[in-house]
Amino acid sequence: MQTEDGANLAEFEARLARGEKIEPGDWMPAEYRRQLIRMISQHAHSEIVGMLPEGGWITRAPSLRRKLVLLAKVQDEGGHGQYLYHAAETLGATREEMIEALLSGRAKYSSIFNYPAAAWADVGVIGWFVDSAAILNQTMLARSSYGPYSRAMVRICAEENFHRKQGMEIVLRLSQGTAAQREMVQGAVNRWWWPTLMMFGPRDSDSPNTPTLVRWGIKTRTNDELRQEFVDQTVPEALAMELSLPDPSLHFEAEAGHWRFGEINWDEFWNVVQGRGPCNEERLQARRKAHQDGAWVREALAAFSRRQDRAA
């Protein structure tokens, strides 16, 4: 902070206090810019990699209706990645650097997408759990102090509600279905519950970036607060559908008004974050292949563009 211009910093923080949005080109602390580029590019990568677990089910969806819905959902995730790459670019990051960081394995993305979608019911549970969790996080980020990030989040949240509801509809139908369908959906719930809780990130006490992010209004709530809200929202839904959650110590604490959950397996979380999850390698391979397979299209576009320029 010693290198920052004190007067600029005071004015910057006064603007935040007045609730103004910071825009590209406005003065901002170097650390604010760095943290935003880190967060937004990770978020963009998460949307892009997030297409993969469910994308594999498009060709195997059980009906034409489900196939159309899943296609639309996966296409939305791709679009969300584009909104977010744009927001990061307004801070001076380039698309090339960000894609290169993802493909080389240097960039991080949400741990949740390194788990496999083993059965059709997983598509439902991903919508119910993962998209609900994402909406909580993104509703908070829609109030972020950086204008382009905030606006991308407003747009994304509106679309994510479709994602959440199509997933819940699948889970509701399966949970009221045959014994085999109930068993399939319970299996998916068991697989996704803990990874979803991990998706909110490390405990506040292990989250070194949180105080800075909250101070500058990039985040307005902490990982633990959001995780608790997700649990409080989801447990009653599971109870209504008579689905159990794989946590023997889950209980309602009436005094606090919260559902209390057991200890998260943080070793598993850090393993996945550090690249040793069930599908990390597979996800990166899929992204690299997509990038390589698209190279001829980019080359053709560039050649066409050069020809147009020469003609002009």
Partner 1 sequence: MTDTQLRRYEIFVIERPGRPPVHAGSVHASDGELALQNARDVFARRPDCHGLWALPAEAITSHPAGSAEPPASVAPEQEPYLVFGKPGHKGVQTFLGTVQAASAAEALDAGRNTLGGGIVDWWVAPERCRLATQPEDAAPMFDPSKDKPFRDQAFYPVETMMRKLRRDRESGRAKP
Q: Taking the complex as a whole, how short is the minimal distance between the CB of residue 168 and partner 1, in angstroms?
A: 4
The reply on whether position 68 binds partner 1 by CB under 8 A is: yes
Q: Is 21 in the site for partner 1 (CB under 8 A)?
A: yes
State the SS3 of the chain.
Answer: CCCCCHHHHHHHHHHHHCCCCECCCCCCCHHHHHHHHHHHHHHHHHHHHCHHHHHCCHHHCCCHHHHHHHHHHHHHHHHHHHHHHHHHHCCCCCHHHHHHHHHCCCCCCCHHHHCCCCCHHHHHHHHHHHHHHHHHHHHHHCCCCEHHHHHHHHHHHHHHHHHHHHHHHHHHHHHCCCHHHHHHHHHHHHHHHHHHHHHCCCCHHHCCCHHHHHHCCCCCCCHHHHHHHHHHHHHHHHHHCCCCCCCCCCEEECCCCEEECCCCCHHHHHHHHHHHCCCHHHHHHHHHHHHHHCHHHHHHHHHHHHHHHHHC
Region 177-236 residues binding partner 1, contact defined as CB under 8 A = none
- Minimum Å gap between C-beta 155 and partner 1 is 8
Point out which span in 105-113, 115-123, 165-173, 257-265 binds partner 1 (CB under 8 A).
165-173
Which CB, 80 or 202, lies closer to partner 1?
80
- Residue from 10, 24, 252, 274 binding partner 1 (CB under 8 A): 24
Q: Which of 14, 30, 31, 75 binds partner 1 (CB under 8 A)?
A: 75
Binding of residue 241 to partner 1 (CB under 8 A)? yes
The yes or no reply on residue 148 touching partner 1 (CB under 8 A) is yes
Q: Is there binding between residue 5 and partner 1 (CB under 8 A)?
A: no
Instruction: Give 216 or 269: the residue with its C-beta nearer to partner 1.
Output: 216
Q: Is residue 62 involved in binding partner 1 (CB under 8 A)?
A: no
Query: Cα dihedral sign for 227, 233, 237, 242?
Result: positive
288 binds partner 1 (CB under 8 A): no
Map residues 86-125 to x or -, x wherever contact with partner 1 holds by CB under 8 A: xx-x----xxxx-xx-------------------------
Interface residue list for partner 1 (CB under 8 A) = 18-21, 23-26, 65, 68-69, 72, 75-76, 79, 82-83, 86-87, 89, 94-97, 99-100, 148, 151-152, 155, 159, 161-162, 164-166, 168-169, 172, 176, 237, 240-242, 295, 298, 301-302, 304-305, 308
